[in-house]
């Protein structure tokens, strides 16, 4: 059964959502992300995707205190991303309570570092962040579009031991216009053993059902929850 993973994105310590990763199109949903995380847990959620958007821009972890508070006040399994660019960032994330970290930009720019992390911490601890726009990998808070092909990028890391990957279609994220089912179907066909987590654009409950049917292992839901397009009560069959 597909894993439901609500998202909390952080700017200046607040729970926000962006549209297409654009920091100028920001909406604040809650001043206290801990309250949001506790509401998710009370509804039966077990996993959380926590993103330090300030960290993504500054290329270092900024909102580590938010991670620490959520980890200490809930039992959620937290994967943390945004600004994890060094060994110190990695240690900070784990010390503050993250169970997994997402390696995004650094997986593009410093492959050897991520491979070292895989060897040291194991494949259960490191998630590959593979965000793309029109099939090309996007980095640095989606402000840079590279020439790297999404499928080749994923395949290379799977060959080197990656087991988990979060894939986001940047053009879908935060727009409430639906997710890119074709992209995820193609990935699962080529890499059936990859624990694939879909992210970006999920708007209706039937999209989650479709992702489940094509074999996607997890789905990150953000704005659809905050805007009431999907209610936590609708997800109860997936939260058992």
pLDDT at residue 170, as a whole number: 84
pLDDT at 99 over 70: yes
Rounded to 5 degrees, what angle do the CA atoms 19, 145, 81 make?
Answer: 60
Question: Confidence band (pLDDT; 50, 70, 90) for 175?
Answer: low
**Is the pLDDT higher at 79 or at 170?**
79
Among residues 197, 195, 196, 198, the alpha carbon closest in space to that of 178 is found at 198
In terms of DSSP H, where are the helices of 21-128?
A: 33-42, 53-58, 64-73, 87-95, 105-109, 111-121
Q: What percent of the chain has pLDDT over 90?
A: 79
Active site residues: 9, 131
Question: Confidence band (pLDDT; 50, 70, 90) for 13?
Answer: very high
- Which residue(s) pair with 195 in the sheet? 164
Task: Quote the pTM value.
Answer: 0.93
pLDDT at 180 over 80: yes
pLDDT at residue 74, as a whole number: 98
pLDDT at 150 over 90: yes
Q: What is the mean pLDDT of residues 115-140?
A: 93
pLDDT at residue 24, as a whole number: 72
Domain residue limits, the chain: 3-238
pLDDT at residue 25, as a whole number: 76
Biggest alpha carbon–alpha carbon distance for the chain:
43
pLDDT at residue 17, as a whole number: 78
pLDDT at 21 over 70: no
Residue count (the chain): 240
pLDDT at 18 over 90: no
CATH architecture under which domain 3-238 falls? Alpha-Beta Barrel (3.20)
Q: Does residue 83 sit in helix, strand or coil?
A: coil
Question: Confidence band (pLDDT; 50, 70, 90) for 177?
Answer: confident
pLDDT digit string, tens, across residues 226-237:
999 999 999 999
Question: Confidence band (pLDDT; 50, 70, 90) for 127?
Answer: very high
Other C-beta atoms lying within 10 Å of the C-beta of residue 39: 15
Mean pLDDT over each residue of the chain, to the nearest integer: 93
Q: What is the mean pLDDT of residues 166-188?
A: 87
pLDDT digit string, tens, across residues 207-225:
999 999 999 999 999 999 9
């Amino acid at each position: 059964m597909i894993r439901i993973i609500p998202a909390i994105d952080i700017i200046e310590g607040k729970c926000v959502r962006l549209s297409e990763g654009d920091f100028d199109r920001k909406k604040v949903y809650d001043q206290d992300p801990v309250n949001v995380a506790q509401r998710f847990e009370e509804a039966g959620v077990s996993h959380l995707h926590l993103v330090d958007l300030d960290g993504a821009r500054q290329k270092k972890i900024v909102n580590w205190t938010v991670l620490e508070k959520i980890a200490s006040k809930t039992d959620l399994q937290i994967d943390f991303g945004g600004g994890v660019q060094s060994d110190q960032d990695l240690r900070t994330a784990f010390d503050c309570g993250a169970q997994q970290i997402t390696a995004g930009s650094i997986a593009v720019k410093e492959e050897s570092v991520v491979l070292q992390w895989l060897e040291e911490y194991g494949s259960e601890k490191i998630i590959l962040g593979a965000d793309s726009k029109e099939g090309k990998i996007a980095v640095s808070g989606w402000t840079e579009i590279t020439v790297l092909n999404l499928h080749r990028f994923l395949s290379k890391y799977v060959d080197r031991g990656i087991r988990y990957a979060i894939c986001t279609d940047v053009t879908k994220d935060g727009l409430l216009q639906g997710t890119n089912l074709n992209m995820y179907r193609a990935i699962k066909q080529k890499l059936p053993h990859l624990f694939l987590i879909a992210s970006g654009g999920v708007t209706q409950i039937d999209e989650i059902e479709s992702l489940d049917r094509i074999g996607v292992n997890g789905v990150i839901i953000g704005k659809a929850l905050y805007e009431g397009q999907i209610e936590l009560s609708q997800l109860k069959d997936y939260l058992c």
